[in-house]
C-alpha cells in the first residue's frame, strides 16, 4: 500500500470580508471545532472597546509603540484604517506557529491579504460575503454605536473590497452561519489534499517484494507455461 508523507509546516489562511459579513463568528466556530487551528492575534493602536480582551481580540498598544515596531520590522504586514488606527500582524509569532505545524488564520483586509500573499504564495485566501448589502445595513444598525458618516464610510469600503474578490481563492456567502463554517472547513480539507502538500510518496516493502516477484516471473524463461 502506498504511503504519503505530508509537509509538516502549517497552512496560512487569510479570512477577509465586508463589514458585518460575520467573519469573527465564522472564525470562532472554526477554532472551536479544529484544535490544530489557531488565530494570529494582531496588534492595534485603536482604543479598547467594551468587551475587548487583551491578547484575545488584539494586543492593544499606543500609536507611538506601534510605530516603533514598524521601524523595527516586527510586522509581517500593517495598515492604517480609515479611522487613523494601526493594525499589524506580528511576524515572529506567525512564523513560529507555522513552523510547529499549526494552521494559522489571519483576519485582515484586502490590502493586507495581498501583501502577505506576496511573501507567502501558498497562503489560502477566503473572502466572506454577507448575503446582501441590505443585510449589511441591518446588521450595522443592530450593532449600533456609529453615526451616519461612519456607516457611509463602511459601505464605501465594502463596495471597494467586493471589487477585489477576484484576487482571492475562494468566496463564501455567510447566509446561514453553520453552512458557511462547513464550506470553509471543506476548503481547508481540500487544500490539505493538494499534491504540492506532499513531501514524499513511498511504497511499503511488501508491495515492492510482490512487484519484484511478478517481474521476475514475467522475464524468467525457465518457467514453463501452464498446460491448456
Instruction: Tell me the DSSP string of 80-123.
Output: E-TTS-EEEEEHHHHHHHHHTT-EEEEE--HHHHHHHHHH-TT-
C-alpha cell at 67: 510605530
Residue 218 lies in a domain: no
**What whole-number distance in Å separates Cα of residue 89 and Cα of residue 42?**
5
Enter the DSSP assignment of 58: B
Contacts of residue 102, Cβ cutoff 8 Å, sequence gap at least 6: 10, 36, 37, 38
Q: Which residues of the chain have pLDDT under 50?
A: none
* pLDDT in the model for residue 68: 97
Q: Is 2 exposed, middle or buried (0-12, 13-18, 19+ CB in 10 A)?
A: exposed
* pLDDT in the model for residue 104: 97
The total of structural domains in the chain comes to: 1
Residue 207 lies in a domain: no
Residue 162 lies in a domain: yes
The residue count of the chain comes to 228
* pLDDT in the model for residue 3: 66
CATH number, domain of 38, equals 3.40.50.300
34, 146 Cβ separation under 8 angstroms: no
Residue 46 lies in a domain: yes
**What whole-number distance in Å separates Cα of residue 195 and Cα of residue 135?**
39
* pLDDT in the model for residue 182: 97
Residue 125 lies in a domain: yes
**What whole-number distance in Å separates Cα of residue 10 and Cα of residue 91?**
15
* pLDDT in the model for residue 223: 52
Residue 166 lies in a domain: yes
Enter the DSSP assignment of 50: T
Contacts of residue 8, Cβ cutoff 8 Å, sequence gap at least 6: 101, 199
Residue 221 lies in a domain: no
What's the domain range around 43?
Answer: 2-193
Residue 106 lies in a domain: yes
**What whole-number distance in Å separates Cα of residue 200 and Cα of residue 180?**
33
**Which is nearest to 180 in space by CA: 42, 19, 36, 28?**
28
CA distances from 129 to 4, 20, 139, 213, 218 (A): 36, 9, 13, 58, 60
pLDDT in tens, 24-44: 999 999 999 999 999 999 999
For CA atoms 8, 90, 113, 55, the dihedral sign is positive
pTM passes above 0.85: no
Amino acid at each position: 500500500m502506498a504511503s504519503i508523507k505530508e509537509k509538516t509546516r502549517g497552512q496560512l489562511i487569510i479570512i477577509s470580508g465586508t463589514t458585518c459579513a460575520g467573519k469573527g463568528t465564522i472564525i470562532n466556530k472554526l477554532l472551536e471545532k479544529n484544535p490544530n487551528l489557531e488565530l494570529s492575534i494582531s496588534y492595534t493602536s485603536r482604543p479598547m472597546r467594551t468587551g475587548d480582551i487583551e491578547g484575545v481580540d488584539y494586543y492593544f498598544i499606543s500609536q507611538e509603540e506601534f510605530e516603533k515596531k514598524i521601524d523595527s520590522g516586527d510586522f509581517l504586514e500593517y495598515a492604517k484604517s480609515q479611522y487613523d488606527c494601526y493594525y499589524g500582524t506580528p511576524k515572529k509569532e506567525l512564523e513560529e506557529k507555522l513552523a510547529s505545524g499549526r494552521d494559522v488564520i489571519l483576519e485582515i483586509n484586502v490590502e493586507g491579504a495581498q501583501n502577505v500573499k506576496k511573501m507567502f504564495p501558498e497562503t489560502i485566501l477566503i473572502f466572506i460575503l454577507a448575503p446582501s448589502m441590505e443585510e449589511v445595513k441591518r446588521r450595522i444598525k443592530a450593532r449600533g454605536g456609529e453615526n451616519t458618516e461612519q456607516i457611509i464610510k463602511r459601505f464605501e469600503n465594502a463596495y471597494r473590497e467586493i471589487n477585489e474578490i477576484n484576487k482571492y481563492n475562494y468566496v463564501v456567502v455567510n447566509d446561514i452561519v453553520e453552512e458557511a463554517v462547513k464550506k470553509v472547513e471543506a476548503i481547508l480539507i481540500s487544500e490539505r489534499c493538494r499534491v504540492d502538500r506532499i513531501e514524499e510518496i513511498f511504497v511499503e516493502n511488501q508491495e515492492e517484494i510482490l512487484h519484484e516477484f511478478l517481474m521476475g516471473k514475467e522475464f524468467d524463461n525457465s518457467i514453463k507455461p501452464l498446460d491448456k
